[in-house]
Amino acid sequence: MSLTTRSVQAGIASVHRMLEAGGHETLTELDGKIGDGDLGITLLKAFRKLDEVAPDLPQDLGQALAACAQAIASVSSSSFGTLLTTAVLSAAKELKGQQSVPWERLPALLQGAGAAMAKRGRGNLGDKTVLDPIDAAASAALGLSDAPDILAVMRHATQQTIDRFRDRPNRLGRARIFGDRTIGLDDPGMVAFKLMLDGVSG
Amino acid sequence: MSLTTRSVQAGIASVHRMLEAGGHETLTELDGKIGDGDLGITLLKAFRKLDEVAPDLPQDLGQALAACAQAIASVSSSSFGTLLTTAVLSAAKELKGQQSVPWERLPALLQGAGAAMAKRGRGNLGDKTVLDPIDAAASAALGLSDAPDILAVMRHATQQTIDRFRDRPNRLGRARIFGDRTIGLDDPGMVAFKLMLDGVSG
Amino acid sequence: MKKILNDPFAYADETLEGMTLAFPRHYAFAAESRRVIVRPSGAIRGKVGIVTGGGSGHLPVFAGYVGAGLLDACAVGDVFASPSADEMAIAMRAANGGRGVLRLYGNYGGDVMNFDLAGEIVEMDNIESTTVLLADDVASAPRAEREKRRGVAGMVYAFKIAGASAARGDDLAAVTRLAQKTADSVLSMAVALSPCTVPQAGKPTFEIGEIEMEIGMGIHGEPGVTRGPLAPADSIADSLLDPILAEQGPGKGSRVSILLNSLGATPAEELFILYRRLASRLAEAGVTIVRPLVGRYATSMEMSGVSLSVLRLDDELEPLLAAPADCAFWTVA
Amino acid sequence: MKKILNDPFAYADETLEGMTLAFPRHYAFAAESRRVIVRPSGAIRGKVGIVTGGGSGHLPVFAGYVGAGLLDACAVGDVFASPSADEMAIAMRAANGGRGVLRLYGNYGGDVMNFDLAGEIVEMDNIESTTVLLADDVASAPRAEREKRRGVAGMVYAFKIAGASAARGDDLAAVTRLAQKTADSVLSMAVALSPCTVPQAGKPTFEIGEIEMEIGMGIHGEPGVTRGPLAPADSIADSLLDPILAEQGPGKGSRVSILLNSLGATPAEELFILYRRLASRLAEAGVTIVRPLVGRYATSMEMSGVSLSVLRLDDELEPLLAAPADCAFWTVA
Ligand SMILES: Nc1ncnc2c1ncn2[C@@H]1O[C@H](COP(=O)(O)OP(=O)(O)O)[C@@H](O)[C@H]1O
Ligand SMILES: Nc1ncnc2c1ncn2[C@@H]1O[C@H](COP(=O)(O)OP(=O)(O)O)[C@@H](O)[C@H]1O
Ligand SMILES: [Mg+2]
Ligand SMILES: [Mg+2]
Ligand SMILES: [Mg+2]
Ligand SMILES: [Mg+2]
């Protein structure tokens, strides 16, 4: 089994289903507490658009992911949307010209995406953003080759990261300004990443 | 007994006392329903100022009343204040050079004042304004020569006018715009005239 | 609604003080009264003077429109209250450059009485004066009783056109005629969504439900024509435009200017949303919009709502509308 | 607070449509996007282009400042939301007159990321570009973390000064340096009294008691420094001025411009009441106020509150502030 445009299409469908089934409301509520409350809608719009373009994605993984990045950019411009565009673009560049890659490359791809996002958002690990679980998940899954294993390890690392950061204050993005009031609250972007992993996993 | 500057001073003192004792609140409330609610304050400011200038009024009734008119004008510019200025000015012109006039001239003076007010405010009898009780009171008292009689007849005619107009709509000033919603309500300016008569009477 | 103030009774005074401090090139107090705003340069010799007056709480109306190509002096009352006849007389004297003075103001009882009284006072000084009353609010009386209508935002057009006429050297009769022509050519209609608070009263001028609006309500909260549920913007635009068109009927090929005015809190964004609809309605009717004004030109402090004024133009009025003008709130360059 | 709109999701689009219809001499859509406002004349050959971008709901910020002596193009997002990188790239191309483009906008996470992305996109088109971020809100981070501060009303000064620099023919490096100098010379502080409603959200951005105010609150309702009972105007003026003076310390004899800005609902009257106090405080400190701006220059729809921005001037900045400029919301003649 390897990662192909079909896997991308399947992943889009699952996450989209999860969001429509109510996942977006969780995010809206979280972002409403320490942000502008648009994170659920941002993701919903992104995945609705992805679902639209999914059937026509080319076999070339690079081209497919570039099309996905453009789809996300066209409907969303809030921070998470732009970071997601950045992440997908970074993977698109890596996979240019390939129609199929082994699953074991996934953790490294995610690591690269995280680095691109950090650069784009001028963020650092430890700021309590989506960057933290991405880094943790990618590191934990390095070396694994089986898709279900990879996902399981990533989900576990992500949940651990969310738990670990809960009692720290946000230090980046809109939430930063809420300072100590963010202590005790989960970062919406981290939870969004977790929900996407859950969605892909089934 | 005749009308002198002393009578003017006494009248000012009584009306001022009546207003300070709460009379102005009645007017504020009435004007609040079908106007801008300033009538009580307008009168209070006018009579506070009159009370200030009263001790220094000259013996010449014309000059005394002209000073009163100017005092009112200097503190108040709402309709009733301007009409009151106009009324007092009209009497001042009539009484120029006289230190004492018989009480029986009062009804005619009031009639003249009413005419000046009608001209100033472009109003007509029947519009449900202060003009109506002024006209009724002056007409009813024509020919009487005793101050208490004159006041008693004027108060009666004023109350009758208020009662007679209660169920008609206001047709002039700020209240006009409230149209049929003024039916059933007493015109604030009429009531102000009534309160002033009551005040003067004791 | 909350207000930023020190002493509610000093609201008007402190407003004027701030205006003169912020814009000393535009506004000065008359020597005789801190309730009269004049041009810092003083009366202009050989120019017809134009004065206005009215209550505070409507900025830029009234005092804000003192300026080049606009007004010469303004008497200012307390919030929503007439200035005194004394102050109006001071304003008239300050505006007098020897060619007479036009009194140009809105049709409100107290203002009219006091300006009449002021006119009598300055006649003794041998100042020739005329009066033009703005009575543009269609909601405030039927056409048959036009002379009873209130003056609202349409007065801004009269200030501009009379101001331009005086600035180019017209005599008192001509300035007066053009001001009257403008007054006769402009109609306005407003909708209110929420009230404002008169500082001295301390409570809102009216009450209205969370999802209600009142069409035709006056700028001091005087009752309007209909109260109903808050309608979509396009339907509000129609409610403002329809009664004006019905009465004024600018035909195909005619030219108008329109003033779409926020009463205070309503943001520019929402004015533009309304403007779309007005533009398309007038285009449909074959009417050309010239020099539209969209913004806050005549307000009621923090009241939420809008007014629409439509001015019918002709070859005489249009160039005067386009002439240069300059006050701290509005520059036509 | 009630809003006048049709479809909450079309609020930004209909606003822009109305703007272009009302002021076609000032504003046009870019050919490629109805979320990008450009000058109707197109890019000016041989002039450095200046673009900005940001969310809707702040008029005249951002799109309103497209105009002569000001900006060349603006990408517009939904209410309080960043425009997309695509739209920003379109704005940059539209502003490009061959001498490079300055991106001049407020320091908000989404805007920064998208503008960076847009910069990478247009680099492929060989358009040279630079960035200056406004981060003038002293309440949003301590001095030590200046780069994290939000950009608020102070950006109006940067638009004006960079715009004048570009208009007189300065090259990209010079325009960028002057924009950065302005950004480094302006500090702002705000107080909020009541919230606004984002149309798509349908509820107020924050809650606040009937007699409360919040000092230092952000223009989207981000929490401020202190919340307390509504204070008298003079004390509010001090709360706005003190932290700015403390950090900026304009000495005796220095010259500043100040922008006293209504966030929307707060009326001009109350700005002038505050202005009195500011003028007397600065006079006391021996500081001269030059060309003050008092009005609605950067709003949050119908939010009630004010912001104060203080710009330190020198011989280089002052003439640029005085240079002519013209947009539908602001004319410097
Ligand atoms: N600069 C940044 N770098 C990394 N992650 C960020 C950054 N800014 C925001 N995020 C993440 O995005 C989430 C919020 O996304 P979103 O609601 O789209 O932002 P906004 O509406 O404030 O633009 C945050 O919870 C955080 O995890
Ligand atoms: N044009 C007028 N002619 C005669 N009386 C008037 C006129 N306008 C108002 N009034 C009287 O004045 C009263 C209101 O006075 P006031 O509150 O001072 O008016 P406002 O505040 O509307 O200027 C009315 O009840 C009416 O009796
Ligand atoms: Mg968000
Ligand atoms: Mg957002
Ligand atoms: Mg009254
Ligand atoms: Mg009154």
Separation of CA C147 from chain center = 17
* Mean confidence (pLDDT) of chain A: 94
CB C95, CB C38: distance < 8 Å: yes
Ligand 1: does its nearest atom lie under 6 Å from the Cβ of A121? yes
Ligand sitting nearest the alpha carbon of A32: 3
The reply to whether residue D15 touches residue C295, judged by beta carbons under 8 angstroms, is no
Structure tokens at B65: 């009343």
Q: Are residues D122 and D193 in the same domain?
A: no
- Tell me the percentage of chain A whose pLDDT exceeds 70: 100
Burial label for B22, CB within 10 Å (0-12, 13-18, 19+), is exposed
pLDDT number for residue C1: 64
Q: Quick check: is C1 in a domain? A: no
Helix (H/G/I), strand (E/B), else coil: C209: coil
pLDDT number for residue D1: 64
pLDDT number for residue B179: 85
Mean pLDDT of A107-119: 97
Distance A55 CA to ligand 3 centre (A): 29
Q: Are residues D91 and D172 in the same domain?
A: yes
Ligand 2: does its nearest atom lie under 6 Å from the Cβ of B50? no
Radius of gyration in angstroms for the set of CA atoms belonging to chain B, rounded to a whole number? 16
* Nearest residue on chain C to B89, alpha-carbon basis: C117
- CB environment D81-98: b (16+ within 10 A), e (fewer): bbbbbbbbbbbbbbbbbe
Residues sharing a CB contact under 8 Å with residue B119, sequence separation 6 or more, in sequence order? none
Residues sharing a CB contact under 8 Å with residue D118, sequence separation 6 or more, in sequence order? D75, D85, D86, D88, D89, D91, D92, D103
Q: What is the per-residue pLDDT across C199-223, written as a single tens digit (0 to 9) for each?
A: 988 888 889 998 999 999 999 988 8
CB A48, CB A35: distance < 8 Å: no
Radius of gyration in angstroms for the set of CA atoms belonging to chain A, rounded to a whole number? 16
Q: What is the per-residue pLDDT across D119-176, written as a single tens digit (0 to 9) for each?
A: 888 887 889 999 999 999 999 999 999 999 999 999 999 999 999 999 999 999 999 9
CA distances for C183 relative to C150, C187, C311, C312, angstroms:
12, 8, 9, 10
CB C141, CB C149: distance < 8 Å: yes
Ligand sitting nearest the alpha carbon of C78: 6
Residue from C284, C298, C300 nearest C329 by CA = C298
Structure tokens at C284: 């449909």
Q: How would you write the pLDDT of chain B (202 residues) with one tens digit per residue?
A: 799 999 999 999 999 999 999 999 999 999 988 888 889 999 999 999 999 999 999 999 999 999 999 899 888 888 999 999 999 999 999 999 999 999 999 999 999 999 999 999 999 999 999 999 999 999 999 999 999 999 999 999 999 999 999 999 999 988 887 888 899 999 999 999 999 999 998 7
Structure tokens at B20: 């300070």
* Nearest residue on chain C to D300, alpha-carbon basis: C267
Q: Quick check: is D3 in a domain? A: no
Residue with tokens 């993977």: A91
CA distance D190 to D139: 8
First to last CA, chain A: 17
To the nearest whole Å, the CA of A164 is away from the closest chain D CA by 24
* Nearest residue on chain A to D33, alpha-carbon basis: A74
Q: What is the per-residue pLDDT across C37-76, written as a single tens digit (0 to 9) for each?
A: 999 999 999 999 999 999 999 999 999 999 999 999 999 9
Q: Are residues D197 and D212 in the same domain?
A: yes
> Which member of D3, D273, D331 has the closest CB to residue C331?
D331
Cα angle for residues A11, A8, A40 (degrees, 5° grid): 45
CB B86, CB B72: distance < 8 Å: no
Distance C2 CA to ligand 5 centre (A): 24
pLDDT number for residue C149: 94
- CB environment A153-183: b (16+ within 10 A), e (fewer): bbbebbbebbeebeebbbbbbbbbbbeeebe
CA distance D240 to D187: 10
To the nearest whole Å, the CA of C247 is away from the closest chain D CA by 24
Q: Which of C36, C82, C84 to mutate to test the interface with B (most CBs of B within 10 A)?
A: C84
Neighbouring-strand partners of residue C71: C66
Other C-beta atoms closer than 10 Å to the C-beta of B137 total 28
Separation of CA A5 from chain center = 18
Least confident of A109-118, A169-178, B106-115, D60-69: A169-178
User: In chain A, what residues touch D86 (CB-CB under 8 Å)?
Assistant: 73-74
Burial label for D32, CB within 10 Å (0-12, 13-18, 19+), is middle
CB C15, CB D277: distance < 8 Å: no
Ligand 1 atom with the smallest distance to the CA of A38 is 17
Residue with tokens 């005790």: A184
The reply to whether residue A82 touches residue D110, judged by beta carbons under 8 angstroms, is yes
Cα angle for residues A92, A97, A99 (degrees, 5° grid): 90
Residue D294 has pLDDT above 90, yes or no: yes
For residue B154, what is the domain's CATH number?
1.25.40.340
Q: Structural domain of residue B38, as residue ranges? A: 2-201
For residue C287, what is the domain's CATH number?
3.30.1180.20
Q: What is the per-residue pLDDT across D40-52, written as a single tens digit (0 to 9) for each?
A: 999 999 999 999 9
Residues sharing a CB contact under 8 Å with residue D226, sequence separation 6 or more, in sequence order? D214, D215, D216
Q: Quick check: is D85 in a domain? A: yes
Residues sharing a CB contact under 8 Å with residue C234, sequence separation 6 or more, in sequence order? C277, D6
pTM: 0.91
Residue A101 has pLDDT above 90, yes or no: yes
Overall domain count for chain B: 1
Overall domain count for chain D: 2
CA distance C109 to C148: 9
The reply to whether residue A177 touches residue D114, judged by beta carbons under 8 angstroms, is no
- Which residue has better confidence, A179 or C19? C19
Q: Are residues D109 and D258 in the same domain?
A: no
- Establish whether chain A is in contact with chain B, requiring a minimum of 3 CB pairs below 8 angstroms: no
The reply to whether residue A38 touches residue D81, judged by beta carbons under 8 angstroms, is yes
CA distance D84 to D192: 29
CA distances for B193 relative to B7, B83, B129, angstroms:
18, 12, 10
Residues 124-163 of A with CB under 8 A from D: none
The reply to whether residue C110 touches residue B77, judged by beta carbons under 8 angstroms, is yes
CB D317, CB D185: distance < 8 Å: yes
To the nearest whole Å, the CA of A51 is away from the closest chain D CA by 20
Give the chains touching B; criterion: ≥3 Cβ pairs < 8 Å: C
Q: What is the per-residue pLDDT across A34-50, written as a single tens digit (0 to 9) for each?
A: 888 889 999 999 999 99
Residue A178 sits at the chain D interface (C-beta within 8 Å) = yes
Q: Which of D35, D113, D116, D131 to mutate to test the interface with A (most CBs of A within 10 A)?
A: D113
Structure tokens at C273: 């949303």
- Tell me the percentage of chain C whose pLDDT exceeds 90: 90
Structure tokens at A89: 């673009």
To the nearest whole Å, the CA of D110 is away from the closest chain A CA by 5
- Side-chain-facing half-sphere of A13: CA atoms under 13 Å: 9
pLDDT number for residue A34: 87
Q: Structural domain of residue C104, as residue ranges? A: 8-185+321-332
Neighbouring-strand partners of residue D197: D204
